[in-house]
Amino acid sequence: MSLKEKLRVMVVDDMSTSRGLITQALDSIGIQNVASAGDGKTALAAIAQSPVHLVISDYNMPEMDGLHLLHYLRSSPPTQKTGFLLITGKADPAVIEKGKQLGMNNFLAKPFQPADLKSAIEAIVGRL
């Protein structure tokens, strides 16, 4: 079983368009084990039910933003090491710095091509 076949991913974004785009990009890379959620709480509940290897989350979301979500993931032992890829609108140094402090694995600024997403994921989990 290749890495991309076994990789389980959770996509979190409040915009269904973005969820669709990311899922579509993942699909084109060959990652099909993808769940998605429209907000952090739903994502956490889904992950608790069915764990994932990698969370790809938008930064800018109402209620719980991407970094809050990361913070929750990191503060619970089972998800302390879950991969976390933050999608940001712009590469804001302050956001990246905080993400780094909270233990984010990588980030990707919008807009991106599937190839960019692939390299961002490969930087976390190794060659796909």
Partner 1 sequence: MTDPMQEIMASFFVECEELHEALIDALQSMADGFHDAETINVAFRAVHSIKGGAGAFGLEELVGFSHQFETVMDACRSNELAISDDLVQLFLRCGDFLSDLIRCSRDGDTINAVASEALIDELSGFVPKADTDAASEEIDFQPMTLSLDDLGGDASDDLPMDLPPLADLGPAPVDEETVQAAALLIRFAPEPELYESGNEPLFLLRSLADLGPCQVDLDFAPPSSIDELAKPGGRLSWTVRVETDQPASAAQEIFEFAAGLCRLEIGPASEMDGALPGALPTVEEDIPALVETPLPEIIESKQPTVPPSDGAPRSAAPTKTVAKVSPTVRVDLERIERLVNLVGELVINQAMLSQSIAEENIPQNSPVSAGLDEFMQLTRNIQESVMMIRAQPVKSLFQRMSRIVREASSAVNKSVRLVTDGENTEIDKTAIECLADPLTHMIRNAVDHGLESSERRVANGKPKQGEIRLAAAHRSGRVIIEVTDDGGGINREKVLAIALKKGLVPEDVVLNDNEIDQLLFLPGFSTADEVSALSGRGVGMDVVKTQITSLGGRITIDSTPGVGTKFSISLPLTLAVLDGMVVTVAGETLVVPLNAIVETLSLTAKDLRPIGPGQVVLCVRERFVPVLDLGKELGYRQALSIDNGAIALLISPEEGTLVAMLVDTIEDQRQVVIKGLQESYGRVRGVAAATILGDGKIALILDPNDIAQSASGVAFDNVQKEAS
Where along the sequence are the contacts to partner 1 (CB under 8 A)? 1, 3, 6-8, 14-18, 20-21, 24, 33, 41, 44-45, 47-48, 51, 53, 58, 60-65, 67-68, 71-72, 74-76, 78-79, 81-83, 89-107, 109-112, 120, 123-126
Half-sphere exposure at residue 46, Cβ-oriented, CA atoms within 13 angstroms: 20
CB of 3 to partner 1, least distance (A): 7
Tell me, what DSSP letter sits at residue 94? H
CB of 81 to partner 1, least distance (A): 5
Q: Is the dihedral of CA 92, 60, 12, 67 positive or negative?
A: positive
> In the complex with partner 1, which residue's Cβ is closer, 115 or 123?
123
CA 57/CA 86 separation, integer angstroms? 5
